[in-house]
Structure 1
């Protein structure tokens, strides 16, 4: 009887590979977390600290260091981090060295609502709680706060943040009523009656033309209100 050595070699090789894989898998599952690292991504990292994230994880998941990989549920850890209202996005993974890394993107406030309730409006239009760690330098939103007026304030803030001059100089949005919004500037005594959020590009284009001329004439301090409510017009009220 002729022995098929190639078949035997292949079988032995397969058994060896399976054994090594099983050993490596067992070793991997039982490898313990050597360290826990919290990394904040981007430049908006003022509202949540590494200490507060670690405390959140311990309270909701327990201590992570020295746990085995088999005892970890990375998706659950991500959900715990995402439950914090300052977090926009989170990614958790374990390195081959046993380091558990959490990469976190914090939410970005673009306006601060000062009403019966106080909170930030973030860059996605959502409500974001104030932080005990940092107060954002963003325009203050006051007046008649409603769901619709906040949507409009978000639209106005998005436009303002796209323009370098407006972003640096607009410090407040006052809501007189839905569809009637007033802007306050950092260095000027006048207020700008914006009206509604329609035709913002045209309104601000007219305002910038007025501002450039009034700055040149050194007459900005003479005005109390600048109205952009009327089609293609800038109507000013003097002191």
Structure 2
């Protein structure tokens, strides 16, 4: 009987202690906001703006109490921002707010009215008001080009040799995708994205041969639309 009474009292004391601890935790003020980006290589939103989205109050973060925080609303404000892909907000035991933010990753800048980015989820997004991302420029874009453009850009990005090779992409009704190398003045006529990997292998082999022969500056166009061959024209200014 005594053991049952002791056990019952222990449970009551534990509940009281837990409730007191929880109330004490909630009454604590926020002492710091820690913002972590999953990738800082190409920022499109600053920590300052994330901080403003986290706590929208006239008071500073240090004056807020944990019981007044709604973490779900904080996360919702973050993910509703067009620069943010996902976010997770939590509070540590010592009263620090932690926000882990995954920003969207632009892969191409589509020139138009207005300009916009294509991101690595194949979604269009506005330009960042804080940062400019170094990605290929795209001219002549139409809505029906989006999936093919995404396939092209992602294939180039995943190729170690070609990921930084092209400065812009032009979409022509007659010739398809046209690529401009960063380091040279010639134009690459890709055509459609059909057999894209084969075309790029042909291109790499052809450029390696021309570089070995020191004839890259003589190139005017490099046409990859033909099977089992590369058709090149000479630069008229050379």
* 8 A Cα contact 1:91 1:102, kept in partner: yes
Distance 2:174 2:83 in 1: 28
- Aligned equivalent of 1:149: 145
- Aligned equivalent of 1:167: 163
Query: Which whole-Å deviations, capped at 9, do the CAs of 1:17-57 have from their partners, x for residues lacking one?
Result: 22212212222232222222222222335221122222334
* 8 A Cα contact 2:53 2:74, kept in partner: no
Q: CA RMSD in A?
A: 1.9
- Aligned equivalent of 2:84: 87
- Aligned equivalent of 2:47: 50
* 8 A Cα contact 2:42 2:133, kept in partner: no
Aligned-residue offset at 1:14: 1.9
Q: Secondary structure at the match of 2:185?
A: coil
| Residue 104 to residue 97, structure 1, CA distance change in 2 (3 Å) | same
TM-score normalised per structure 2: 0.90
Distance 2:4 2:127 in 1: 70
Unaligned runs of 5+ in 2: none
Distance 1:159 1:178 in 2: 22
Query: Which whole-Å deviations, capped at 9, do the CAs of 1:103-136 have from their partners, x for residues lacking one?
Result: 1121111111112220111111112222232211
- Aligned equivalent of 1:209: 205
- Aligned equivalent of 2:70: 73
* 8 A Cα contact 2:187 2:222, kept in partner: yes
Distance 2:93 2:117 in 1: 40
Distance 1:127 1:65 in 2: 37
Unaligned runs of 5+ in 1: none
Query: Which whole-Å deviations, capped at 9, do the CAs of 1:189-231 have from their partners, x for residues lacking one?
Result: 2101101111111101111111111112222222211111122
- Aligned equivalent of 2:195: 199
Following TM superposition, the consecutive aligned residue runs of length 4 or more in structure 1 with deviations greater than 4 angstroms are: 61-64
TM-score normalised per structure 1: 0.90
| Residue 57 to residue 15, structure 1, CA distance change in 2 (3 Å) | closer
| Residue 179 to residue 219, structure 1, CA distance change in 2 (3 Å) | closer
- 1:99 counterpart = 2:96: yes
How many residue pairs get matched? 234
* 8 A Cα contact 1:31 1:68, kept in partner: yes
